[in-house]
Every structure is written in C-alpha cells, then in structure tokens.
Structure 1
Amino acid sequence: MKIQTLLAATLLLVAACNRDKQEVGTEGMNAAANQADAAANPTIDNPNVVSEDEAPNPDAPVMTFAETEFDFGDIQPDSKVRHTFTFTNTGKTPLLIEDATASCGCTTPSWTKEPVAPGAKGTIEVQFDSHGKQGLQSKQVNVRANTQPSITTVTIKGSILSNEGPQRPS
C-alpha cells in the first residue's frame, strides 16, 4: 500500500511538472531516453569493434591460420600431447593476442606474447593432458586478439586408448 501511494504521488508530481511543457510525443520521449542512456553509459571508441551500422576497420590485424583443427589420432592414456598452431598476420597493423582460453582444464594454451607485425608469423601451442579421460575428445581454444572478430577458435581432437586398444565408435 505504501508503495502504491508513493508511486501515485510521484506520478502526480511528474504530471504537474510537465503540465507547462509542450507535448513531445513518443518519438521525443524515446530520443530523450536514448540521450539519457548514452550519457549514463558512454561508449569507448575501439577502432577494432564493429557495430551493425559501421564498416569494418580495413587496417585491423588479421589472424590467418595454416590450420584451425588438429587431430592427434590415438592418444595413450595418462599422456600429454602438444600441437603448435601457426598463424600469419595478414592485416595491416600489428596483431596482439590478449588471451587464449581452453574449453577444459586438461588443455593448456601458450601463445606468442609480443606483437606480430604485418606479414610475420606467430604461434599458439596447445597441450592436452589425457589423464582421467577416455574415448573421443575434442577441445577448443578461444584466442582473443585485436582482430575482427576479436575471438578466433582452434580445435584439437583425438581418441584416448584404453588398456585394451582404441575406443573408436563402430
């Protein structure tokens, strides 16, 4: 009841304050709301972020991989395997990898930390620990960089052997 009374009083106060103002209609109210939202939530200009109505940055770095998926085939139980993904910066500005995260704690990525100049190569090494795993496995690594789009995914997969042999589906 108190909330309803407070709400009614607030509405009356707003109505009284707006009585002398010219009516702006729905479009004017929406514009005012959008302006208020923009003032409350300012955007940071990032040249590599593309909105729907904005053209992509033609100078952005581009991460071009020789391969985006690697199949280890059969993997021995309780072993660690590694694969190195190689990429080239085919863009016009230096490429900087901010982060690389794996889809599972059993997968550990490491990457080129220094900026990769246009035309130069970089690497992402992915280590997979098969301890406690069995059967077919597929793991992704999401690489976040100053590219468009900002996330690129590479995948590793393989089949963990059992003590009796391969666990391939029939």
Structure 2
Amino acid sequence: MKMKFNLVVLAALLVLTTACKKENVNDKEVLLDTISAQRPEAVETTTPTAQVPADGKYSTMTFQKEEHDFGTIKQGDKVSTDFQFKNTGEADLIITSARGSCGCTVPEYPKTAIKPGETGTIKVSFDSKGKQGKTNKTVTILCNTKEGNKILNIHANIEVPNKN
C-alpha cells in the first residue's frame, strides 16, 4: 500500500514538473514573438545562426589583440581599452551586438557596416567597484562572420584599499 502511494506521488510530481517546463518554454516563445513583432531590434539570439550568403562571401574580423590585461588596479577604478580590428573578409562586416559578461563590463561598437579592408574599434570599459582579486571578464560580439561571434577577454588584479 505504501509502495503504491509513493509511486502515485512520484508519477504526479513527474507530470507536474514536465507540464511546468512545457508551459515556461511556450511562455518564453510567446514573449519573444511579441517583442520581435513590436521591436525586432530588441530580440537578440544568443546562438547565432550563420547563414551562407547568396554570393558565398563572408566578412572576417581580424584583431590586433583579443585580450587585454589592465594589470593591478585599485578597487573602484574605472578603466578602458580599445580593441582595434580590420575586416579582412570579402563582405561588409555588420556587428549586431556586443555584450559584456556582467554589468561592470561595457562595450561600445560601430553601428555601421565596416567595408572589406576598413578598420574599426571596440571600446571596452570596466568598472572595478565591488570587485577584488584576479578578475576575468569577456565581451561577446555577434556579427555576420562565418563563425557568427567573437569573444574578447579582459583581466585585472583588483586591490582593496586599506581602511586605516
């Protein structure tokens, strides 16, 4: 009798868990559909779907550096660096978004197309407020390259000032 009760409870939990997951996925899809219908520029895909261009030509981002170390900084310092790149591909480079791994890392990127052979800059600002020790942050760039994205890295060693 006790075994039957446990099986019934287990089955009920399984059904409820599965039903909730399906409902959440549908809710998210409805929300994304609503947002994209009202403001298509507000919807960002986290996994780019690289489509082969009709002419088969892609843009390519070639960076002078893909990583920057700010060295040792004091907690609360605001620092920034520029990541220079060149479009070494055969098509216009279009950056659709650039996102920091947290709110303390803010990228600024070109909003216009970068033609083949032209250069551009992505400025990355980092606010060390509330951080301490060795810190690694990333910036993910979504663009129309064959890979669909590019990741830049920044590092810092943040010292907490003495309160004496």
Q: Give percent identity, aligned residues only.
A: 40
RMSD over equivalenced CA pairs, Å: 1.9
Q: Which residue of 2 aligns with 1:93?
A: 91
Q: CA deviation at 1:58?
A: 4.9
The aligned residue for residue 65 of structure 2 is: 67
Q: How far 1:163 sits from its partner (Å)? A: 1.6
Residue of 49, 52, 58 corresponding to 2:51: 49
CA contact (8 A) 1:101 1:143 kept: yes
Aligned to 1:16: none
* CA distance in structure 1 between the aligned counterparts of 2:51 and 2:141, rounded to whole angstroms: 16
Q: TM-score by structure 1 length?
A: 0.63
Q: Letter of the aligned partner of 1:112 in structure 2?
A: P
Number of residue pairs the alignment of both structures matches: 113
Q: How much does 1:59 deviate?
A: 1.3
Query: Deviations 1:112-168 (Å, cap 9, x if unpaired)?
Result: 11110100001111000000000000000000001110010000001001225xxxx
Q: TM-score, normalised by structure 2?
A: 0.65
Which of the two has higher C-alpha Rg? 1
Q: Structure 1 or 2: larger helix share? A: 2
Letter in 1 for 2:51: V
Distance 1:61 1:98 in 2: 13
Q: Output aligned runs, 1:3-42, within 5 Å.
A: none
Distance (whole Å) between structure 1 residues aligned to residue 146 and residue 119 of structure 2: 18
Gap regions ≥5 residues in structure 1: 1-46, 51-56, 165-170
List gaps (5 residues or longer) in structure 2.
1-48
Contact 1:68 1:154 (C-alpha < 8 Å) held by counterparts:
yes
**Could you tell me how far apart the structure 1 residues matched to 2:88 and 2:75 are?**
39
Q: How much has 1:49 moved relative to structure 2?
A: 2.4
What is the alpha-carbon distance in structure 2 between the residues aligned to residue 48 and residue 132 of structure 1? 38
Give 2:154's aligned residue: 156
